[in-house]
Amino acid sequence: MLITRIKQGLYILAVAMLFNACTDDNSADPNVPGSDRDKYVGDWLCRETVSGQSNSTTFTITIQKHGSEDTLYVYNFNNIGIPIYTIWLVSGNSVTIPNQVISQVALSGSGFYNNDEINLTYSSDGDAVSAVCTN
């Protein structure tokens, strides 16, 4: 009788593990709150400075969730224009701007979120750029 109960318990455990293993980890709903990227979503005023230049440029970017839990679309990044978007990847308070060519401009870089600001350092066609974005 004890062996039968152990077998039944193992069977139930195996079935439970099978159902858990069948969950699609990539089907996250981008509208579900609580992901790392939530704090980035919205309109941001960015002040961008190219290294070696004394003046800065100010423009607005719009950030939206897209696809998987870590992906954002950033419209008008680097003041390139709308409806052009750049892809950012989020992990916690850090953001990565993977190598990409947007409207014939090569972009890559990184940044972080702190106290309702996004601080960025990136390359735009080989120029070193820094930006602070506030919302």
Per-residue pLDDT of 35-44, as tens digits, reads: 899 999 999 9
What's residue 26's pLDDT? 37
pLDDT less than 50: residues of the chain: 9-10, 12-31
8 Å CB contact between 130 and 117: no
What's residue 17's pLDDT? 45
The string over 54-75, giving b where at least 16 C-beta atoms fall within 10 Å of a residue's C-beta and e elsewhere, is: eeeeebebbbebeeebbebbbb
Does CATH place domain 41-134 in 1.10.10.10?
Answer: no
What's residue 25's pLDDT? 36
Report how far Cα 128 is from the mean position of its chain's Cα atoms.
Answer: 21
**Distance separating alpha carbons of residues 39 and 33, to the nearest angstrom:** 10
8 Å CB contact between 77 and 107: yes
CB within 8 A of 111, min separation 6: which ones? 94, 95, 97, 118, 119, 120, 121, 122, 131
pTM of the model: 0.74
8 Å CB contact between 94 and 110: yes
